[in-house]
Each structure stands twice: as structure tokens, then as C-alpha cells.
């Protein structure tokens, strides 16, 4: 059952926060949704936004400035939290930001103590879309986007479910988590030491084996201090070229890892998605 936390009118649509009991995560979860004014008259398509390490549903909705263009295009935006929450939910015992609360990495954990709650892949790709489509005036036409850890989540969701998402985009995504410190730490904790189990949550590895493509847009700031060690954009570029995958990967001079970067290019991403959401809705 949904419980409304807040509701604010913006660009003639409505931004609201809700909480609900999640069956896949076995805890209470919060998400934010922006419903454009068109949703008062017809079901609208949805863009799911997955946020990065330490973020909640609030960061994107408050900082990216996406609602104006979403209202123009008639696209709903849904932003879930980045991990399960609650006193009963496991967290990093050392209090580090890159594991545990706020750092679910959008995988289905198999290792104790994480497996009981950290089923974020199922939550964002199955449970939450079903809930949104049942409770709000939206269609089942959807795309997905995200930032950093959330960019990783968006890419793997689209690559693993090419018939479910009409398009995918990402800002500063962790594209090859099996080969970077953030990813290695999280995947070891959540999935164990068997690296073969990690590969199904790695965009570069998944792209090697795809047979159906999803239109993709990736923006990466050249001044991002995580680029070389954690994000590894060049590895994705190599696979895209080898597979001739339909992806635009844009290196943006002077931009860093912050929401200033996202706010600069979010309109282009929304218009990119709108093209495919409209095409699918008209079929």
C-alpha cells in the first residue's frame, strides 16, 4: 500500500514522494515520481532514473532540473532510492560510503548478510515498474537512465532486458565494475568471490554477448576525477566499436562528476528518450 509523503506542483505537473513495503527488498522503501500535466488526460511513458552512491530519490529530482522538459514532452520520471533502508538492513561495518546503505549497486545479492534485503535489480526492473503501472496513469512504455552507480544500473537493466526498455542513457556510468575498485568491493560482498557471477552485472561483459540492442546515449565528463580508476569509459568504447552497437558516447570537456554536469545535459537526454518513447507508443 502506498503512503504519500509529500506532493508539490511544478510546471503544471506534480512531484510526489511515496513509501511502500517492498516484497523484493523486505523493507519499507521510498521513491519519487514526477507526473507531467498530460497524465491528467492519458497514460504517459516513464523514464526511470537510478542515482549514484550515497544518493536517495531526492538528489535527481531537486538538482537536475528535469521537470520543465519532462512536462513539455509528457514523460513521467520515477526515481527510486539507491538501496534498502531500515535498522534491520545490513550496512558496511566500517561505515564506508561505497557499500551497504546508499550503495546497493542494483544487483541481487546472494551472500550473507546482504541477500536478505539487497535485491535491488529485481526491485528496479520488476517490482517498482509493476507498482508504478498499477498505481499511476502511466503506460508500460519505459526507458531508463542514471548517474555513476546508477548509470551502471541503467545500462545493465537495459542490456539484460532489451525488450523492456525503449532506450537507455547514462551520465558518468561505472561501465566495467568487475575491473574497478568500487565494483570489485561491492560485487565481492554481495555476490562472493566467484567472478563468473559478477559478469551478469557488468555492462561491458553483457554487451559482448547481446543479440538485441537498445538505443544508448552516454555522457562522460573529461574532468571527472573518477574517470580513469572507477568509470573506465574507454573500455565501453572498445566494446561498442567492436560490436557496432548503436551507442553515442560523448566525452564532454571540462565537466566533472557533479550534478552541474547532469543539469547541463539532462534536456538532451530527455529529448533522446522522447524520440524512442513516442515511436514505441505509436506502434
DSSP state letters, 207-241: HHT-SS---EEEEEETT-TTIIIII-HHHHHHHHH
- Say what the pLDDT of residue 279 is: 66
- Say what the pLDDT of residue 282 is: 45
Q: Is residue 228 within 8 Å of residue 176, measured between CB atoms? A: no
Q: CA dist 158 to 66, 178, 183, 271, Å? A: 21, 18, 19, 18
| Active-site residue, from 81, 224, 269, 273 | 224
Is 148 a catalytic site residue?
yes
- Say what the pLDDT of residue 1 is: 84
Nearest to 101 by CA among 128, 120, 125: 120
| Active-site residue, from 15, 117, 147, 257 | 257
Parallel, antiparallel or unpaired: strands 138-147 and 168-171: parallel
Residue with cell 534498502: 84
Cell of 243: 560490436
Cell of 92: 558496511
Angle at 40 between CA 38 and CA 43, to 5 degrees: 70
Average pLDDT by stretches of 10, the chain with 283 residues: 96 98 98 98 98 97 98 98 97 96 98 98 98 98 98 98 98 98 98 97 96 97 98 98 96 98 98 89 46
Residue with cell 526498455: 165
Is 219 a catalytic site residue?
no
Is 224 a catalytic site residue?
yes
Q: How far apart are CA 91 and CA 82, in angstroms?
A: 13
| Active-site residue, from 148, 167, 169, 172 | 148
Amino acid at each position: 500500500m502506498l503512503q504519500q509523503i509529500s506532493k508539490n506542483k511544478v510546471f503544471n505537473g506534480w512531484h510526489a514522494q511515496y513509501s511502500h513495503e517492498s516484497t523484493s527488498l523486505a523493507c519499507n522503501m521510498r521513491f519519487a515520481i514526477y507526473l507531467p500535466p498530460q497524465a491528467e488526460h492519458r497514460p504517459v511513458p516513464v523514464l526511470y532514473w537510478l542515482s549514484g552512491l550515497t544518493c536517495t530519490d531526492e538528489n535527481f529530482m531537486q538538482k537536475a532540473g528535469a521537470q520543465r522538459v519532462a512536462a513539455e514532452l509528457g514523460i513521467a520520471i520515477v526515481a527510486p532510492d539507491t538501496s534498502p533502508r531500515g535498522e534491520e538492513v545490513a550496512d558496511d561495518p566500517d561505515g564506508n560510503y561505497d557499500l551497504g546503505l546508499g550503495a546497493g549497486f542494483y544487483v541481487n545479492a546472494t551472500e550473507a548478510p546482504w541477500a536478505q534485503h539487497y535485491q535491488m535489480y529485481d526491485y528496479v526492473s520488476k517490482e517498482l515498474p509493476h507498482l508504478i503501472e498499477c498505481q499511476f496513469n502511466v503506460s508500460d512504455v519505459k526507458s531508463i537512465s542514471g548517474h555513476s552507480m546508477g548509470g551502471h544500473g541503467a545500462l545493465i537493466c537495459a542490456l539484460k532486458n532489451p525488450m523492456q526498455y525503449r532506450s537507455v542513457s547514462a551520465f558518468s556510468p561505472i561501465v566495467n565494475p568487475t575491473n574497478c575498485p568500487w565494483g570489485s568491493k561491492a560485487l565481492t560482498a554481495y555476490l562472493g568471490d566467484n567472478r563468473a557471477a559478477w559478469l551478469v552485472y557488468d555492462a561491458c561483459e553483457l554487451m559482448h554477448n547481446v543479440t538485441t540492442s537498445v538505443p544508448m546515449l552516454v555522457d562522460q565528463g573529461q574532468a571527472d576525477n573518477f574517470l580513469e580508476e572507477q568509470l573506465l569509459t574507454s573500455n565501453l568504447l572498445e566494446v561498442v566499436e567492436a560490436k557496432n552497437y548503436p551507442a553515442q558516447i560523448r566525452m564532454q570537456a571540462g565537466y566533472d562528476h557533479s550534478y552541474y554536469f547532469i543539469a547541463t545535459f539532462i534536456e538532451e537526454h530527455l529529448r533522446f528518450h522522447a524520440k524512442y518513447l513516442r515511436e514505441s507508443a505509436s506502434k
